[in-house]
Structure 1
Amino acid sequence: MFSKTGAFRHKSIPAGVEFFNSLKKETNWKIDFSENGNDFTTENLKKYNVLVFLNTSGDIFDEYQKKAFQKYIANGNGFVGIHAASDTEKEWPWLAEMIGATFKDHPKVQNATVYFDKSTEHPAINHLKKKEVFKDEWYNFLKPVAKHVNILATVDESSYKGNQMNTKNHPITWFHHFDGGRIFYTGLGHTEESYADVRFQKMIKGAILWAADLAQIKKPSTKKWTNLFEGDPSKNWDVFIGAPHATVKGLENVDPKSDGKNAAPLGLNKDPKKVFIFEKENGENILHISGEIYGALTTKQEYENYHLKLQFKWGEQIWEPRLKRKRDSGILYHCYGAKDAFWNVWMSSQEFQVQEGDLGDYYGLSGTLIDIPSEIKEGEKEFKYIKNGDLNPFSSLQRLPPNHCNKGFDNENPHGQWNTLELISFEGTSYHVVNGKVVLALYNSRYKNSDDEIVPLTKGRIQIQSEAAEVFYKNVQIKSIRKLPIKFEKQTN
């Protein structure tokens, strides 16, 4: 629990420390307290699952401490920011993006009505009613709260007086996944009374459990499908756009030496060329990917033990640097870590290849490994999936073993027709299913963590790629599973 201040120091910090001391006794958690930036070293931070910023403020880190903090988040750890955490290192873009907003000003302390989105079933707010009244200092932010966060609570501006953001939707509490870490922030926590309020205490405890990956938000139903394209897609997805190829027109400052992967990415939810757009067709959301710039449509949530089902078809447009190559896209799963780990645009992940003639192939990206029943015939250069074949390792850590295995057979529909793709993922086993047939079965999914250990990889975010070809996706549905579906398991023997 970190409470260093370089600007305004809240009088409620001692009350917050007292609350965390009581939490330490109640839970037997190991909780250390610090106001020393020198504690932010790579080695020291390895001891902790979660960092809590309790009303930190101002500039409090040097460049080495910032790098250690960034590495800590990238290693898959948790962060809980309370109140003035958003008033910390305001000139550091990474921290502003991680927290999701930057403090601007506030009215006087007063009661206000707060509405909670109970649909997420987030452990930080499960105990709260949909409508609650809190007394606090209601923060306004320099810019609208970032699109990539998941809003858990909004404050009703009509219920209090003074400086406001003048919006019907004034976010005050949220969570998200960022650069591999689990991030929670609440604007509550200004007053000493806050830390004696059981509602607030349970919120922070639930937030810490979630940030430590010990408590989960609502999972998809096991009985019915959840359509991830239904309603407002931005509630379920983020866009990340990579580096424009040197040939891309209509953008400023395009690197003339860019091959589409060796230059700076445009970034999170920055899509000036509208690479990813949703179009309505018979009342249904269709994702139209132009392919002009490498990019990813990324789920805001992580998923584990699920059945994903969707439809896709190819368009006609193709772009550099793949004008003379097969049309390409892909579904990346078990995505973790930095947004730009691979080619400055995709996360470390396992890949269900979506490419003309190669639908269902496997690729490993940036640190992943997996085992596949496969063989490589004499005179051939690549492995191919074969039922009941020898279980061979595939790795993205080095050239041998390779990071690619071909599907067992082709089951793709002709160009321009819709294909149904299904990804079955359960406890490290995956099935790549094309138009009802398992074309590849994969086992023992794992990755190399920050401590250079090879450990299981069974969950993560899901990405849909833009990779220089026009493509359409629709009817993207997901549901939880408790075992591998028998009809697909039989196909793999």
Structure 2
Amino acid sequence: MIGKVLAALLMLPAPVAALATPAAAAADDPYDVLVFSRTAGFRHDSIPAGTTAIRELGAANGFSVTATEDPAVFTTAGLAPYEAVVFLNTTGDVLNAAQQTAFEGYVRGGGGYVGVHAAADTEYDWPFYGNLVGAWFASHPAIQAADVVVEDRAHAATAHLPQRWHRTDEWYNYRTNARSTAHVLASLDEGSYSGGSMGADHPHAWCKTLDGGRSFYTGGGHTIESYSDPAFRAHLLGGIRYAARQANADCRPETGYTPLYNGSTTGWTQAGPGSFTNADATLTSTGGMGLLWYSAKQFTNYSLKLDWKMAGDDNSGVFIGFPPSSDPWSAVDNGYEVQIDATDAADRTTGSVYTFKSADLAARDAALNPPGEWNTYELLVEGEHLQVFLNGTKINDFTNTDPVRSLAGHIGLQNHGDGDDVSFRNVRIKELGGTTPPPGPRTGPVRGLANKCLDVSGAGTADGTKIQLYTCNSTAAQNWTVTPNSTFKALGKCLDVAGGATANGTKVQLYTCNNSAAQVWSAQADGTVRNPQSGRCLDVSNNSSADGQQIHIWDCLGAANQKWVLP
């Protein structure tokens, strides 16, 4: 796969229109597909059209197709040439016991399975097959139009589709819900048609792994017309490519996630000069260096999943564990970046914890889809332990041991710079609970106006010592221990509003820590630092960046002289 990635980087392909003639973003290695359409029950008149469509897809996308209804091919030697086997509208008992054993060995050994429509109406007495297909057929209403709700828009079978896909087909009800054992790619909105019997959760297409093998199933494909529909043909092609290991995906079962972004940017804040366009429930980076960060909440123990795609040789990253700030460099200096850029050095390439730990490059290369195709990250944070999964494969395992940093905090998506075109979809999170406390104290400089530092005048320790702005010099007078929504400490004493006053212009000083409201400071999403008792913000007096300028409190204005970057 990495060869494809590098080749695609060199070609720098332009994005393909969503419903253009189905084709992989980068040329696949040649492979072979067996189409099996034997029926021992109802026979679909669409089988010839389906076979022709798969042959045409193969001719256009570099795989050969052998079509048969003879089960004698189901031997160890007979199946060995094929990377995937398509069960095209099969029905009833189509394999004998020996053939079943051979096919089970083929799948468990790494072979691919694609089930189309009535493949779920097949081999009811074979438990392995029931697990492989994901769910058995129960019933169906009359052929009619319905809305397919696309849940996963990163998988090769569904990435080209809109969030709601309106089409006509025969809509199966299933005996069980596949969601507990498979990753659901699309479901049916039973309110959009009549005759559904599974309720609010009605899976329609899904994928899964079984030992070494891969499985993809779609409930579509009853009608002859399906196989001339470009969207359905691309859906079928993506399933074949996944099963044949030409495209990677995270097909582990997924439940319990809350969307942070799936079209709406509510709760997100842009820091820095760059930005993201937001169209078709897709964020695409544009402009200069910046960070779109989820300012509505910080997270501790969680599983963060998101889908991303590079247009070519591009650069971006996912940031975690940083404090609130309007400066994108705060995330760089205080958090951790999981990198997106397959062509950089080992400790700063896709899957690395940027400059801290390289990914397992062999595992990464095997799991990575090339530019023009979507990838899925899971960042699993448990305390100070981070595991990175790429398309369901673990590629990094990192433990934070830096007492100044933490994996707990905000999350953000980087727009690296003009010309670095990276897109994101379906950002979702599952909070895991546990006993890990909220982000603890962080120690370091507090930077403000003109990139100068919050400073204790003369490094004095007497109560009432002036707090000022001063050129950063890495001395103890500028080394602050910041506890979120609590104190700022330096030289063993606290940042304090003189006399506990609340008026504009009240000086800020160093004072013995006394747990009073005059010593409580709360960082805000816009980069300001507020004293809740007064409702006013930490402010550089007269908006002057001169060394020695007095720090005081003032009405919160969000101006540059009230913006601070915390450690």
Rg larger for: 2
- Which structure ranks higher in relative contact order (CA pairs < 8 Å, sequence separation ≥ 6)? 1
Which is richer in helix? Answer: 2
